[in-house]
Amino acid sequence: MSLAASKGGIYAQSSDPLGDDISIVRQWLALGDKKITGIQLYQDLVLKSHPMQLELGIGNVCGLKCQHCFLGYESGATISPLIPMSTLLDTVTCMVEKLGTRMIAVVDRDALTPNRSIPFFEHIAKLRKTYPEIKFGGVTNGLLIDRYADDLERIKLDYLDISMEGVCDENDKIRGKGTFDLALKNLRIALARQLAERVIVATTLHRFNDDSIIRMIHQLIFEDGVQWFDIGILMAVKMQQYQLQQRDIVEFLNSLSQSLVPVKVSQPITILVEICAYCAAFIPALIDSGWLIPEQIRQDKYGHLYQNIHVNESVTITLRPELIPEYWRHTLRISSDGYVIGGCEPLTQKDYAQLAVGNIQIEPIQEIYRRVLSLESPFYHSMLAYNHSECREKACFAYCLGGDSLLAKSVYGNYHVKDPNCVWNEYKFQNLSMYANNFRLRRS
Ligand code: SF4
Ligand code: SF4
């Protein structure tokens, strides 16, 4: 499983705001220019925050032991018992009806968990009749799709992410022998029976599988007609020897796009590239290379930032930069045993409850969400970290803002040090792109 995988991708409209018209883009640039403080940002975001998105753990067993699995606890070894189904259903109903949640993504460990996933999906499908803008789905390792196909066909998820780690050799080295063939067989069932509006192949990029992912994308487009891919980046709390270096994501995007130029197919292909909170350290290189262009970033109605790059008439690469982490202000993550923890960063630790703001098995979610935004909450501290980051005087702070402070806190116990995904001292700009320079000049 990727961390949250695609969450269904982007729901774009031609009226989506662009560049400087998006408040998060303006705030990100202003923080980088040191024109606002983290406290000012906190005060502004508190007024606008609501959990538009929910990332929810539903089970604690997945059947695999992937080398890159970011979860800090063993399969089955959660701190508390699983959330009772009645609490799960009441919580999601309350979030939809009272807190305005409209995107529900089932994540750790596997979206297809016996006796839990189908009743949960059925419940959301009912809510979707009243609130048609709800989007929901989940990420699975693909091993059990055939067992759930009848139910999924009836429910019709908005999306289903199926995780694969490259072509057979690389996938099986990471996930275990035989897992590629099994996932492929089930991917074909999902496509043939249209088990979700969007059937998406989700993958985690690192130095071991970068070439293999490109080969896999070609294979699945031509042999199986896959139209959706989602590429997440390794969270380097495991497999550090394969951690991406500062310009690797740029090299990967260059290779991927060049390889796709000749691809002409009748159905559109979308490749989502997740630049989520813990990937902030890759943003300076993306800006420097001209891949990420602030004035071309848009925002969909679910709050996702995105930038489309059309490789040709058939293929679009969609970058999804968070710029400022979505957790707490926009997204809540709830572990399968009920801890409300914002993003997935705390889950990298055995003691993932350390940054929890409450547990839905003990308190209603509305009470917990009030505390989520309060002074001294992890949200407050992560905003404050922009003022105190050890990276504040580096040139790359302008776009990275010092990395993912919640991950730094989870791993090192300190919000102000740079996160483990930045394995360099400072990103040195090589040729800060013409677009990025022009954008800043026009704003100054
Ligand atoms: S399938 Fe997902 S949850 Fe299971 S071991 Fe692999 S990465 Fe971890
Ligand atoms: S050195 Fe700090 S500011 Fe620069 S890329 Fe790394 S984490 Fe970000």
The three-point CA angle 206-422-432 to 5° equals 95
**Ligand (nearest to CA of 32):** 2
User: Which atom of ligand 1 lies at the shortest distance from residue 110's CA?
Assistant: 3
Cβ atoms of 110 and 337 within 8 Å: the answer is: no
pLDDT in tens, 47-65: 999 999 999 999 988 888 8
Mean pLDDT of 373-394: 96
Token pair belonging to 168: 């057979």
**pLDDT for 2:** 54
pLDDT in tens, 246-275: 999 999 999 999 999 999 999 999 999 999
Domains and CATH numbers, the chain: 1-444 (3.20.20.70)
**pLDDT for 436:** 56
**Residue 218: pLDDT band by 50, 70, 90 thresholds?**
very high
Rounded to an integer, what distance in angstroms lies between the CA atom of residue 220 and that of residue 189?
Answer: 14
Between 239 and 429, the more confident residue is 429
Strands 298-299 and 305-310: antiparallel
**pLDDT for 1:** 54
**Residue 324: pLDDT band by 50, 70, 90 thresholds?**
very high
Cβ atoms of 209 and 166 within 8 Å: the answer is: yes
pLDDT in tens, 133-178: 999 999 999 999 999 999 999 999 999 999 999 999 999 999 999 9
Helices (H), 156-209: 168-175, 179-192
Q: Give the total residue count for the chain.
A: 444
Token pair belonging to 87: 């609490």
Q: What are 340's strand-pairing partners? A: 334
Pocket test for ligand 2, best of 282, 390, 394 (most atoms within 8 A of CB): 394
Return the percentage of the chain with pLDDT > 70, whole number.
97
**Residue 303: pLDDT band by 50, 70, 90 thresholds?**
very high
User: Which atom of ligand 2 lies at the shortest distance from residue 283's CA?
Assistant: 5
- How many angstroms is it from 62 CA to the middle of ligand 1? 6
Strand intervals (E) in 17-156? 53-56, 103-106, 135-140
Rounded to an integer, what distance in angstroms lies between the CA atom of residue 259 and that of residue 65?
Answer: 32
- Residue found by looking up tokens 């995007």 in the block: 253
Pocket test for ligand 1, best of 55, 62, 145 (most atoms within 8 A of CB): 62
- How many angstroms is it from 392 CA to the middle of ligand 2? 9
Residue 325: pLDDT over 90: yes
**Residue 76: pLDDT band by 50, 70, 90 thresholds?**
confident
User: Which atom of ligand 2 lies at the shortest distance from residue 402's CA?
Assistant: 3
pLDDT in tens, 116-145: 999 999 999 999 999 999 999 999 999 999
| Cβ < 6 A, ligand 2 pocket | 281, 284, 391, 394, 396-397, 400, 402-403, 418, 422, 426-427
Cβ atoms of 372 and 363 within 8 Å: the answer is: no
Mean pLDDT of 334-342: 94
Helices (H), 23-64: 23-32, 38-48
Q: Report the chain's mean pLDDT, rounded to a whole number.
A: 94
Between 35 and 77, the more confident residue is 35
Q: At what angle do helices 179-192 and 145-155 cross, to 10 degrees?
A: 20
Residue 442: pLDDT over 60: no
Residue 438: pLDDT over 80: no
Residue 188: pLDDT over 80: yes
**pLDDT for 108:** 84
| Cβ < 6 A, ligand 1 pocket | 1, 62, 64-66, 69, 71, 109, 141
pLDDT in tens, 79-106: 999 999 999 999 999 999 999 999 999 9
- Residue found by looking up tokens 């394969």 in the block: 242
100 burial via Cβ count (<10 Å: 0-12, 13-18, 19+):
exposed
